[in-house]
């Protein structure tokens, strides 16, 4: 695995299973350093996380004590039932939490059955109760969209244009409906952030983040530059392939 130091954080480029193992290792490291009873792990959505869940279960890659102590969240969510094939937390539950036997009181999905704005408020209150007032996730995993969005921070999102005071928000995304998401303020309150992206379809987005000159409102993942000291990027060769700064 190759390692690069950038303004956006440490970048590790490697094969799929190397990246899977590194994500598990980083999560374990964050858990060991966290306040007991206050460790929250935010998962994300997409095909790469689903593959990681299956690998994690097959390899038994997470210690039983971590599984028993961790509070599980997702960093963003669609306003769909957990049983939906589009639910980020639903996939995490079916592919990771259920096989590992994680109890219900350690699972913290968004309140998707309520109105979006109320769902974001309820999620904020739940995080305060579980993690501590004003805190956010000690370990937060994000993805990277083909358009360089991360969480549900899409290009031209009002959450990027203004200094949004809340850690979590409901936002209507043109053409995609309502989303529930961590905000830039929430990301700033997180501990370790990991961006996990694989495949050639992500290569242009990676290049725009690391080597492009566009502003944050056009390339939302650039918001992580100010959090580079606690951000790790896990990319395969295909995702890193178009970025000159990520070549040995």
Give the model confidence (pLDDT) of 59-73 as tens digits: 999 999 999 999 999
- CA–chain centroid gap for 56, Å, is 17
Residue 248 belongs to a domain: no
| Distance from C-alpha of 125 to C-alpha of 3, rounded to nearest angstrom | 38
Output the pLDDT for position 150: 98
As given in the structure block, the two tokens for residue 181 are 């998401």
Q: What is the mean pLDDT of residues 123-132?
A: 96
Q: Which range marks the domain in which residue 56 is found?
A: 2-243
Question: How far apart, in whole angstroms, are the C-alpha atoms of residue 132 and residue 193?
Answer: 19
CA distance 71 to 128: 12
Per-residue pLDDT of 181-207, as tens digits, reads 999 999 999 999 999 999 999 999 999
Residue 230 counted as domain residue: yes
Only one residue has tokens 């592919």, namely 95
pLDDT in the model for residue 248: 65
What CATH number is given to the structural domain containing 68? 3.40.50.1360
Residue 153 inside a domain? The answer is yes
d(CA 43, CA 194): 10
In a domain, 102, yes or no: yes
What is the total count of domains within the chain? 1
Say yes or no to pLDDT of 162 above 80: no
pLDDT at 164: 83
Is 0.85 topped by the overall pTM?
Answer: yes
Q: Which residue has the tokens 């792990």?
A: 41
Residue 217 has pLDDT above 90, yes or no: yes
Q: Is residue 101 part of a domain?
A: yes
Residue 168 lies in a domain: yes
For residue 143, being part of any structural domain is answered with: yes
| pLDDT tens by residue, 26-54 | 999 999 998 888 999 999 999 999 999 99
Q: In 3D, which of 200, 208, 211, 184 has the Cα closest to residue 235?
A: 200
Q: What is the dihedral of CA 130, 85, 50, 118, to 10 degrees?
A: -20
Residue 81 falls inside a structural domain:
yes
Q: What is the mean pLDDT of the chain?
A: 96
Band of the pLDDT at 163, cuts 50, 70, 90?
Answer: confident
């Amino acid at each position: 695995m190759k390692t690069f130091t950038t303004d956006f954080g440490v970048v590790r480029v490697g094969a799929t299973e190397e990246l899977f193992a590194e994500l598990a290792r980083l999560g374990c490291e964050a858990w060991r350093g966290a306040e007991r009873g206050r460790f929250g792990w935010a998962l994300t959505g997409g095909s790469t996380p689903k593959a990681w869940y299956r690998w994690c279960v097959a390899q038994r890659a997470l210690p039983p004590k971590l599984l028993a102590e961790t509070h599980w969240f997702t960093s963003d969510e669609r306003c769909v039932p957990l049983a939906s094939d589009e639910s980020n937390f639903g996939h995490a539950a079916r592919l990771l939490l259920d096989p590992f036997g994680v109890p219900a009181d350690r699972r913290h999905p968004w309140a998707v059955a309520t109105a979006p704005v109320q769902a974001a408020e309820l999620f904020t209150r739940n995080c305060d109760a579980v993690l501590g007032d004003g805190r956010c996730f000690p370990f937060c995993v994000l993805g990277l969209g083909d358009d360089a969005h991360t969480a549900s921070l899409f290009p031209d999102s009002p959450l990027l244009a203004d200094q949004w005071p809340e850690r979590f928000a409901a936002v209507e995304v043109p053409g995609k409906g309502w989303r529930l998401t961590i905000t830039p303020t929430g990301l700033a309150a997180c501990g370790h952030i990991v961006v996990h992206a694989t495949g050639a379809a992500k290569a242009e987005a990676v290049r725009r983040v690391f080597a492009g000159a566009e502003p944050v409102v056009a390339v939302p993942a650039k918001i992580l530059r100010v959090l580079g000291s606690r951000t790790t990027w896990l990319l395969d060769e295909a995702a890193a392939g178009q970025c000159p700064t990520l070549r040995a």
